[in-house]
Homo-oligomer: A and B are copies of this chain.
């Protein structure tokens, strides 16, 4: 059909801001926590319920839901050429254990809102435009995260993903099969089908846009990230009898190692982010000298050379300060920093201008599924501010005006693919 039946207001297309906001709040009730946040773990009953809600909305707007073997959810606005590589836009529906109402779900609902708006206007694009919700971005229940986009991009095998187990011993394989069993009629797309372009809207999860009083962040790239599992082995003993001089206390060794890491790695420069997020002490009994400490380190830096250097120093510092205990450092995630497609960045800036929203280039400090789409097709991200830069917390908050602006930018970036608006694909 080409352009829409209904014409845009003053030449600029707009999504339905109230519908988008009410849907955000509706999904926030699925897995809602007493503190006002969300706990919606990957492949959980809550995620199944959110799929059901998404699919209801999709079908009522004339959109086509489907899935793939990795548990990604797709919702398509059908195009004239169903065999042409579609344009994808989305993010994820899972949250941190005490997460907020915007991280991930905003990008999915912004994309759904764009498709719904286009569908209501009778737009039939040349190729499919598809909203996607990637499986397990957060990695809270099944670690590490970004499973759906990594399996889609071929970064991790489906077999490796299915073998991961949660703290209760439940395998992704079983939880994933249960998810699919809950939607037996859902069409299956092949894993890793060709994609024409990928867009992801997200809250910034940092303080930059708010501090600059800027509405739209044109994301230039994602800072690199390395994660490590570190195990310190000492020897257990009786807290009341073992002389201090004779101890091999794994927690005391951790204190020495961590102090050195916080100082040298965490203090390397203003751009580094160094976090020990998870720590386990064994046997973790009140009157027993700890014999083992296991920790997870999250290290990020926008400069790949610095990131590589800090990773090496990290391992060396662990060795230096472990004695009289022993230490074992295992590298897990090794994701270098990446840059997004320049033409799509320009299209985002133009779209922001067309809705009279302020915009600025910004580096993503957090990882996103877009990291794994960037090598496959032109990809980019749209950031909106979040209050005090807070994310992964129950009081995470984004202003309704910013929520609407980000979705309107996404709409206007996608219009050329729909054969409307700017007229040319960027």
Contact B242 A206 (CB under 8 A): yes
Q: Within A268-288, which residues are at the interface with B (CB < 8 Å)?
A: 270, 272-281, 283-288
Determine whether A179 belongs to the interface, using a CB cutoff of 8 Å to chain B: no
Contact B285 A237 (CB under 8 A): no
Interchain CA distance A276-B256 in the complex, whole Å: 14
Chain B nearest Cβ from A300, distance in angstroms: 5
Determine whether A45 belongs to the interface, using a CB cutoff of 8 Å to chain B: no
Q: Mark A195-210, 1 if CB is under 8 A from B, else 0.
A: 0000000001111000
Given contacts A277-B288, A279-B281, A286-B143, whether A239 and B97 have CB atoms under 8 Å apart is: no
Q: Within A299-322, which residues are at the interface with B (CB < 8 Å)?
A: 300
Determine whether A236 belongs to the interface, using a CB cutoff of 8 Å to chain B: yes
**A267 to chain B: which residues have CB within 8 Å?**
244
Interchain CA distance A329-B6 in the complex, whole Å: 66
**A283 to chain B: which residues have CB within 8 Å?**
96-98
Chain B nearest Cβ from A203, distance in angstroms: 10
Contact B255 A279 (CB under 8 A): no
Chain B nearest Cβ from A45, distance in angstroms: 20
Chain B nearest Cβ from A214, distance in angstroms: 16
**A274 to chain B: which residues have CB within 8 Å?**
244
Determine whether A392 belongs to the interface, using a CB cutoff of 8 Å to chain B: yes
Determine whether A290 belongs to the interface, using a CB cutoff of 8 Å to chain B: yes
Interchain CA distance A239-B226 in the complex, whole Å: 12
Interchain CA distance A143-B286 in the complex, whole Å: 9
Chain B nearest Cβ from A412, distance in angstroms: 26
Given contacts A227-B286, A246-B207, whether A365 and B278 have CB atoms under 8 Å apart is: no
**A392 to chain B: which residues have CB within 8 Å?**
236-239, 285, 287-288
Determine whether A36 belongs to the interface, using a CB cutoff of 8 Å to chain B: no
Determine whether A140 belongs to the interface, using a CB cutoff of 8 Å to chain B: yes
What residue in chain B is nearest A255 (Cβ atoms)? B258
Q: Within A5-63, which residues are at the interface with B (CB < 8 Å)?
A: none
Contact B270 A245 (CB under 8 A): yes
The interface residues of chain A, by DSSP majority, are classed as loop
Residue from the set A144, A288, A393 with the largest chain B CB neighbour count within 10 Å: A288
Residue from the set A223, A283, A284, A389 with the largest chain B CB neighbour count within 10 Å: A283
Determine whether A252 belongs to the interface, using a CB cutoff of 8 Å to chain B: yes
Interchain CA distance A296-B289 in the complex, whole Å: 12
Contact A243 B259 (CB under 8 A): no
Chain B nearest Cβ from A392, distance in angstroms: 5
**A336 to chain B: which residues have CB within 8 Å?**
none
What residue in chain B is nearest A140 (Cβ atoms)? B285
Chain B nearest Cβ from A270, distance in angstroms: 7
**A183 to chain B: which residues have CB within 8 Å?**
none
Contact A241 B204 (CB under 8 A): yes
**A225 to chain B: which residues have CB within 8 Å?**
240
Determine whether A266 belongs to the interface, using a CB cutoff of 8 Å to chain B: yes
Chain B nearest Cβ from A330, distance in angstroms: 13
Q: Mark A219-258, 1 if CB is under 8 A from B, else 0.
A: 0000101010000000011111111111001011001101
**A206 to chain B: which residues have CB within 8 Å?**
238, 241-243
Besides A144-B286, A252-B276, 11 new A-B residue pairs in contact (Cβ under 8 A), listed by A number: A139-B286, A140-B285, A206-B238, A207-B243, A207-B246, A236-B393, A241-B389, A277-B286, A277-B287, A278-B281, A279-B284
What are 11 contact pairs spanning A and B, CB under 8 A?
Answer: A96-B285, A143-B286, A205-B238, A207-B246, A225-B240, A237-B392, A239-B300, A241-B391, A252-B262, A255-B255, A286-B296
